[in-house]
Structure 1
Amino acid sequence: MNHPGYKIHKKTFIKTIVKQRYLILMVLPFLIWIIIFKYLPLWGWLMAFQDYRPKAGMGIFDYPFVGLKHFIALFQDPMFYNVMGNTLAMSFMQLIFGFPLPILFAILLNEVKSIKFKKLVQTSTYLPHFVSWVIVAGLFTTLLARDGIVNEMLLLIGAIKEPISFLALPRWFWGICTSAEIWKELGWNSIIFLAAIAGIDPTLYEAAKVDGASRWQSIKHITIPGIISTILVILVLDIGWIISIGFEKQYLLGNSIVQDYSKVLDLYILDYGIKLGRYSFGTAIGIFKSVVSIILLFFANQLAKRWNGQTVI
């Protein structure tokens, strides 16, 4: 016999579903997309514990299990540690420089009084996000070429005596990749912070102005505290993705001269896993990335909880 409270809860739940049916219908396509492309492929993780070689007539459960063989091979490969070093170095550079700049940009843009100028700046900084990495890499390659505009400007002001091959300098590669990422995503990443600033009660600024507060004081005591929760959420999520920085910019901007600095984890999977037909090895690396990302996410969440008393997950 069902408890009376269960029936009341069931009716309330059904009413909520009916009331929010349009919102649910809007979310449904994205939910289906996540299930198909994010959760169903998890079956493929079995390959990391098998000697998988695609053969006609064989299912994924027909291959022999080899335990942790591919994980052991991964941790015994010296190349893996070089690749991890490059991945972490570029990720931390992106976190140190690429994370605070959109916040600063959003705060400064919020202080602009001219609506037309503000919209012009917003549009011009959002556009690079929609440009493919192929075009961005081509642009940076042209700018940084020996006969590019960067070398011409440096020669003009007397900073250098002869052109520099920037993309042929291994130690400069991390900085070039980070700069390209910041230029491409600065405007787009600032959108969420602009939205958070827009949600701050305008009467707080009016009261501060009446009290004689300067713009800097208003930013320090109203704007930043007002968006601190958003900053923490984005920071925690960025830390969780710290070893999943992709491979497009490294692949397109890299060359044989800088390969010791340009090869990251995703390129390692591509070159030493998929291209060589080592699908089990590549899957093992993917599992390693997922596990590390989850650990970092929970670690960052606990730090946020201790520092500000708020949690993301």
Structure 2
Amino acid sequence: MTVTTTVMPLTWVPFQHLGARAAAALTGHCDPEQLRPADLDAVVEIITADAVRASRSGKDEPGWAWYLALSAAYPNSPVTHHTYRRKPVAEQTEAVRALFTEHPGPYPVMPCWACGQETTHRWGKPLLPGAESPQHINRQPAGGQPVCRPCRIAVWAMPYAAICDGRTLTTLHAPGDGTAAQAVVQELVAYNRSAIDQEWSRWPERSRADTALRLVVDHPTDYEIYQWRNDNREPEGRLTILDGFTARWAARTRANAENWAGLRRLAERGDRPVLSLLTTERGSGWGPEMGLIALAADAAREGDPHDPASMNEAALLGNVALSYAEEQEAHNG
């Protein structure tokens, strides 16, 4: 693996990649390449202050929303473990800040699991989303995965670039479009900082699905969408793909209020969010057109031929599904 000299490089690891973009946004930059060593220190202070404040909140009290986001990512960390939450604020603050120390760690030198930079620090499941639980410790180095300081900071900046619903986190990863990727992260960082500053006690209902849909339609490109939770049990996660054609089709559909309403009603018939209707499992071999056509066909079959409103509804839903199929055929040539 090639080792880079960039202060906080963008790597192949989605959580680190998004965290690096979040670190840039948190320090007023529009690209991670603009980060300087002092910016990393500033991000540590932001992470620490926000995390400690949230950890002091009680259930459904002001600040609880951000605590839920951190709990979904870092189980048994100095922020979320009950013993740390009972410690004096100053002691807990130092425990969180120490996670990002520049001092050498106690382990042999190994390349960072994300960027390849040499490090003597190790992180396991309590601190590193996606890390394996202790039951599988034999499948990773002693002490956990080697993680350098910039990547430790990036991984803990990542929730600022995520969407939380109180239980799971959703991240929108656009590895092939840096402009769209940074724009999405900038908006999410602003959204989450607002939630932190206003000390939200909970996340709005449907905020995850609605926010994700708005962002991918505002910035249409190829996305890898991760819905995950790193709790005290085995990590849970689901990866779906939104291809650029479908995102751009959704943007065009939104420009027509009637068609956009029709797409939403198709999703309602399927009892699923619109974004779920437009995404596919990686390697599934199925595209959104099958679901759209099937739901439109159901509407036509269930429509009342003696009720003009019912038939108009069926026609609208059919036109929405047909427009996707026809545009996709033209796109594929």
Which bin holds the TM-score, normalised by the shorter protein? under 0.3
Report the TM-score, using the length of structure 1 for normalisation.
Answer: 0.23
User: For the pair shown, which has the larger CA radius of gyration, 1 or 2?
Assistant: 1
Give the number of the structure whose residues are more often helix, by fraction.
Answer: 1
Give the number of the structure whose residues are more often strand, by fraction.
Answer: 2
Higher RCO structure (Cα 8 Å, ≥6 apart): 1
